[in-house]
Every structure is written in C-alpha cells, then in structure tokens.
Chains A and B, each alone.
Chain A
C-alpha cells in the first residue's frame, strides 16, 4: 500500500491565485481528514469526511476554503483567493476511525 498520497508536495503561488491541493486516501478507509500545520497554531483540523460526506467543516477558516470528496479515492482542498496567511503545511489523513495515517503534506507558500 502506498499510503496516503498528496499532491503537489510544494506549491508557491501569489496572493489572489487559486490553489488546489489533492489527496488520495488509503483504500478502504472511510474517514478522510484535512489538517493544517503552522508554527503558531500547530495542527488544526480543517474538515473531515465520512464515506465521502463532509461531516464537520467548522475548522475551515473562511469561505475562501472549500473541500470536496467526489469519490472514496480522491479529495481536494481549494483556496480561492489565496492569501499570505494561508502559508502552511496541509496534511490529508485517512483512517477507519481517529486519524492514523497522514500523507506527506503539501507545503504551501503564498507570496
């Protein structure tokens, strides 16, 4: 098993641009989580899905953030428009319960 796959691994963009982060969870897992990690705020849950359905998006910072899970093997996190304060490492995790396996993360830098 390849584990949780995220792409891209690094993203550098300019303020105002749209950013799309992608995640392929481990096959068979029914939970998918999106986390953000920064030095200041640590690890924060943004949103999680159960069986492809968004269950709790209360951690999504604002309307600029959106997430989808069109099927069991793919999820996206979109930021539009991006701002410098969105710079962070974004992790996707999948499991059959509490987060167990995290992807390698996408390091986002918004200039």
Chain B
C-alpha cells in the first residue's frame, strides 16, 4: 500500500518560475515530513523537513507548506534555477528515529534556462 503519493511525476518550469510538488499521505501517525533532492548519479540529500505542529517552513528559496487536515504537504521552489533540475522525493516518518521513512515516487524537475 502506497502511503505517500507524490505528484506530478515530472515537471518543466522556466527559469525564475515557481516549482510546486505535492504529496499526500494516509497514515495520521506520520509526524516528520522531509524532502530530498537527488541529482543523477548521486544519492538523495535532505533538502528541508517539517513537523506537523507548523503549517509552513521556509529555507531560502525552498518552502514546505503543510495541511494537516487535508493530509497534504507540498514543496515550493521560488525563482527556480537550472541548477535545481533534479529528482525530488517527499517522505514521511513516525517518530524521530527515521527508521521507517516512506518515500513518494519522486518528481523529475527540469528548469529551462
């Protein structure tokens, strides 16, 4: 059972535009929601994460918006740059050990110059 559904599968954005990737989860016990960025040939890297006690978290051009009642969260990349072109994964976890991170399917983002 896929517990974290991610959309879209691929996204093309012009330089300077806003990239938005959405995730929805089912398990209300999830309490940690990270986003990972993966470049070709590299391992994923933690980009930004949020806990459900806040509705938004911003780090530079990256923002997570969290809607607990809808069981949805999204990643917004402002002023998207060609260097942001990568695959982005949302994930969800219960507790702080990170033991059972459930990943979304991934979104391949292409930012055209």
Interface residues of A in 28-61 (CB under 8 A from B): 31, 33, 42-43, 45, 48, 50, 55-56
A contact residues, range:
20 to 34
Closest residue to B41 on the A side, CB-wise? A104
| Majority-rule SS of B interface residues | loop
Closest residue to A95 on the B side, CB-wise? B98
| Majority-rule SS of A interface residues | strand
Cross-chain contact A97 with B97 (CB below 8 angstroms): yes
Give min CB distance, A97 to chain B, whole Å.
Answer: 5
> CB-CB < 8 A to B89: which residues of A?
42-43
B100 at the interface (CB under 8 A from A): yes
Cross-chain contact A99 with B41 (CB below 8 angstroms): no
**Interface residues in chain B, defined as those with a beta carbon under 8 Å from any beta carbon in chain A:** 32, 34, 41-46, 49, 89, 93, 96-101, 103-106
Cross-chain contact B105 with A98 (CB below 8 angstroms): no
Give min CB distance, A75 to chain B, whole Å.
Answer: 15
**Interface residues in chain A, defined as those with a beta carbon under 8 Å from any beta carbon in chain B:** 4, 31, 33, 42-43, 45, 48, 50, 55-56, 91, 93, 95, 97-105
User: Given that A42-B105, A95-B98 are known contacts, is A101 also in contact with B41, CB under 8 Å in the complex?
Assistant: no
> CB-CB < 8 A to A100: which residues of B?
45-46
| CA A99 to CA B34, docked complex, whole Å | 10
User: Given that A42-B103, A45-B101 are known contacts, is A102 also in contact with B96, CB under 8 Å in the complex?
Assistant: no
Cross-chain contact A93 with B105 (CB below 8 angstroms): no
A104 is contacted by which of B42, B103, B105 (Cβ under 8 Å)? B42
Cross-chain contact B97 with A31 (CB below 8 angstroms): yes
Extra 17 A-B pairs, beta carbons < 8 Å, given A33-B98, A42-B106: A31-B97, A48-B98, A56-B100, A91-B44, A97-B97, A98-B32, A98-B96, A98-B97, A98-B98, A98-B101, A99-B44, A100-B45, A101-B46, A102-B44, A102-B45, A103-B43, A105-B42
